[in-house]
Amino acid sequence: MIGDDIRDGDTGIFEVGGFLSIYSDRPALIEKVGSEEGFGAWAIKRIIIQRQRVYTHNCFGEKTDWDEPLIELHSSNPRVPSHQLDPSGQYRLRGYLLRVLRPEDVKLILLPDSQAIWRRRQIRGPDTRRY
Residue 91, domain CATH:
2.10.109.10
Give me the number of domains the chain comprises. 1
Residue 118, H or E segment: helix 112-124
Asked whether residue 49 is assigned to any structural domain, the reply reads yes
In a domain, 126, yes or no: no
Tens of pLDDT, residues 9-51: 888 889 887 777 788 888 898 888 776 666 678 888 888 887 7
Check whether 8 has a pLDDT greater than 60: yes
Residue numbers of the domain that contains 65: 2-103
Task: Specify if 122 maps to a domain.
Answer: no
Domain-embedded: residue 28:
yes
Residues recorded for the chain:
131
- pLDDT tens string 87-117: 667 788 889 999 999 999 988 777 777 666 6
Query: Looking at the domain assignment, is residue 128 inside a domain?
Result: no
3-state secondary structure of 53: coil
